[in-house]
Chains A and B, each alone.
Chain A
Amino acid sequence: AQSVTQLDSHVSVSEGTPVLLRCNYSSSYSPSLFWYVQHPNKGLQLLLKYTSAATLVKGINGFEAEFKKSETSFHLTKPSAHMSDAAEYFCVFLSGGYNKLIFGAGTRLAVHP
């Protein structure tokens, strides 16, 4: 079965420290993977996407993610957190039929001064 698991429901970091949001996937096929961010009362915004090109993907706002097939992971990182990064982050898997985005349960990132 195809699925995506976000390992942490909440992550709290201090401003200026690194961010790591973990995501693992399960798929029989080469997956397409995305990270979306959802700020309070805002729509979902695409941060970055992996579609079988370079395994290290750079996104907006300084975020990046590395696709590791051996570990079935697609963790999201940022070297230095900013207060404006506080939001809900979703790891998303595109199903083999190309018509369904399967969302993880989300990770709420809190950034403290």
Chain B
Amino acid sequence: GAGVSQSPSNKVTEKGKDVELRCDPISGHTALYWYRQRLGQGLEFLIYFQGNSAPDKSGLPSDRFSAERTGESVSTLTIQRTQQEDSAVYLCASSLTERNYGYTFGSGTRLTVV
């Protein structure tokens, strides 16, 4: 597609449940990033994928968070045993290469844990 697509746009889940968030990057973009934006705050880096290289997971806040990406296509971010502090907007971005500087962001998934 023309942009980065994320689904669902909104997700309400009960505390303790697992959730899966999806990101479709722009076709041909080798780099993919996940960020988290808590209410009224800036973006926190979570994880970065570049082609077939090992992902940079240094931003994942706990072992409840994991992400997968197959090749240069769709990525899924999974949060297990959700907690209320996980409530945030989860944003995905892609770029042509890691040094392209052309980061395109999706509209995000708003996750609310009740």
Contact = CB atoms under 8 A, between A and B. Distances in A.
Interface stretch (A64-72, A73-81, A99-107): A99-107
Given A44-B91, A103-B42, A98 B105 contact: no
Contact of B101 (A32, A43, A105, A106): A32
B80 to A, nearest CB: 24
B105 A105 contact: no
B106 interface: yes
Interface bin, chain A: 20 to 34
Contact of A43 (B40, B50, B105): B105
Given A99-B50, A100-B45, A44 B101 contact: no
B114 interface: no
A44 B105 contact: yes
Interface string B34-49: 0100001111110010
Given A43-B108, A99-B48, A100-B48, A94 B101 contact: yes
B18 interface: no
Nearest to B33: A101
Given A42-B107, A43-B108, A102 B41 contact: no
A98 B98 CA distance: 7
A46 B48 contact: no
Contacts of B41: 105-106
Given A43-B105, A51-B101, 14 more contacts: A42-B107, A43-B3, A44-B91, A90-B42, A94-B101, A98-B98, A98-B99, A99-B48, A99-B98, A101-B33, A101-B35, A101-B103, A103-B35, A103-B42
24 contacts: A32-B101, A41-B107, A43-B3, A43-B105, A43-B107, A44-B93, A45-B105, A49-B101, A90-B42, A90-B43, A94-B101, A99-B48, A99-B98, A100-B33, A100-B45, A100-B48, A101-B35, A101-B93, A102-B45, A103-B35, A104-B42, A105-B42, A106-B40, A106-B42
